[in-house]
Amino acid sequence: MILLAWLVAAYGMTQIIVYGSIFQGLRTSVETMGNSSTPVIGPLFNFIHGIISCMMCCSTWVGFFMGAFIYSIWGNEMGLSTVPAIFFDGMLASGGVWAINTIVDHFES
């Protein structure tokens, strides 16, 4: 049950970051900065824009965040040490959010 709640929370957080109107200004600003010709700033912000505009990419980082700061499924439930647990939490979030998003997209079409 905790796994399902964790995955739904990861899906919700990812959905808000990628599609939520509250982050629209941030996404637009990051995209604008990514299009700049500054040697370091442009590619960095272009990379960040790629992360916050993709459900699978963003959910991986949401999983890392949730595993490190909220609750680690792999650390607390499976007994892994901290660094591998956070890594696998990111992978779990990516796969779980992708599956939930695919189901939601199927029912929306």
pLDDT at residue 40, rounded to an integer? 86
Number of other CB atoms surrounding residue 103 within 10 Å: 10
According to the model, what pLDDT value does residue 79 have? 92
> pTM of the predicted model, to two decimals?
0.91
Please report the pLDDT score of residue 80 as a whole number: 94
pLDDT of residue 63: 98
Please state the domain count of the chain.
1
Segments of the chain scoring below 50 in pLDDT? none
Task: Identify whether the C-beta of residue 3 lies closer than 8 Å to the C-beta of residue 73.
Answer: yes
C-alpha span between 38 and 51 (Å, rounded) = 20
Whole-number pLDDT of residue 39: 86
Distance of CA 75 to the CA centre of its chain: 19
Question: What pLDDT does residue 38 have?
Answer: 83
Among residues 55, 3, 60, 49, which one has the least CA distance to residue 24?
49
Q: Residue 32 corresponds to which tokens in the numbers above?
A: 């604008």
Residue 10 near residue 59 (C-beta atoms within 8 A): yes
Say which residue the tokens 């189901």 belong to: 103
Residue 36, pLDDT score:
84
Q: State the helix-helix crossing angle for 55-65 and 2-19, rounded to 10 degrees.
A: 130
pLDDT of residue 100: 97
By residue range, what is the domain housing residue 33? 2-108
For residue 109, the one-letter residue type is S
